[in-house]
Amino acid sequence: LSTAQASLANSRAGYAAVVGQNPGKLAPEPSLAKFLPATVDVAFDAAEHNNPQIRRSDYTEQSSAARVAAAKAQTRPTVSLQASFGYGGGNFGLDTPFANYSHDLTATAVANFPIFTGGLTSSQIRQAAETNNVDRITIETTRRQVLLLVSQAWNQLLGARANLVANQEEVKAANIAFEGTRQEAQVGLRTTLDVLITEQDLSNAQLALVNARHDEYLAAAVLLSAMGALVAKNLTPDVPAYDPRTNFDQVRHSYGWIPWEPAVARVDHLGAPAIIERPATVAPEGR
């Protein structure tokens, strides 16, 4: 009993550390069965598309690829344009404002060409390229680790399901044995000790069944986590989810906007690597 109470206290402390408050009346855990894949191949496909570790590695590689392009851009010329317009000379009057004034229009274009950098630019390009190579290797390493985790979680889920079925049958058998022993005790064929022993066996079987259900649910959660499907909208569909894209669109012009900003952005992206954005979730075929 003391061991069970200590385990309960540890679980309550862990819950408070994650949620921020002690558990009250807990609601039943949400069902995960409808989110589980039918085959391990579907789980692999979902993990490659939605696993957050793989996506983080992918976006890190895209960021380093953009830094390679930025380093190479230092070898290209830069062009700046400036124009001014004004009035000069003449007299200002209320009847004829700006009379006899001359119009001055000036436009200048300045082009800068990097001629000698002492090897700094080429060194920065090589450094950025090597960093990008490391990020590319990290993508494959992360992918293999995630697929290994999916395989382990899948096998653990299969084992937990088999153990759950076995414990269900064990509870049925223990219940039949307990009822039979109790009836035999009523006619004097069994002692009270025999009844207590079979009742203890039934309690142990029921406890093992509860643990098997826990292990099966935990294995399913681990598999969904590796697949990138253990998300809030699956567990709590009634709670509005935070959309970072919507928030970005709301604050991107918080500090002002100029009419030529789109044109400048297009020119700024010339020569930049293509950024392939993945959707938040990708439903693999066969699900």
**pLDDT tens, per residue, the chain with 287 residues:** 889 899 989 999 999 998 888 888 888 888 898 999 999 999 999 999 999 999 999 999 999 998 898 888 888 888 788 888 876 665 655 566 655 667 778 888 888 888 887 888 889 999 999 999 999 999 999 999 999 999 999 999 999 999 999 999 999 999 999 999 999 998 888 899 999 999 999 999 999 999 999 999 999 999 999 999 998 888 888 888 788 888 877 777 666 667 777 777 777 666 555 555 544 434 444 44
**Contact at 8 Å (CB) between 245 and 14?**
no
What is the Cβ-side half-sphere exposure of residue 78, based on CA atoms within 13 angstroms? 10
| Amino acid 281: pLDDT | 39
Chain position carrying tokens 């002690």: 22
| Amino acid 94: pLDDT | 56
* Phi-psi category of residue 100: left, alpha or beta, with phi > 0 → left and psi -120 to 50 → alpha: left
User: Can you tell me the distance from the alpha carbon of 82 to that of 108, in angstroms, rounded to the nearest whole number?
Assistant: 5
| Amino acid 284: pLDDT | 41
Instruction: Phi first, then psi: give them for residue 110, nearest 5 degrees.
Output: -120, 125
Can you state the angle between helices 120-186 and 52-73, rounded to 10 degrees?
A: 180
User: Can you tell me the distance from the alpha carbon of 98 to that of 3, in angstroms, rounded to the nearest whole number?
Assistant: 95
Kindly state the DSSP code that residue 91 receives in the 8-state scheme: B
* Coil/strand/helix, residue 103: strand
Q: Which of 68, 217, 72 has the alpha carbon at shortest distance from 135?
A: 68
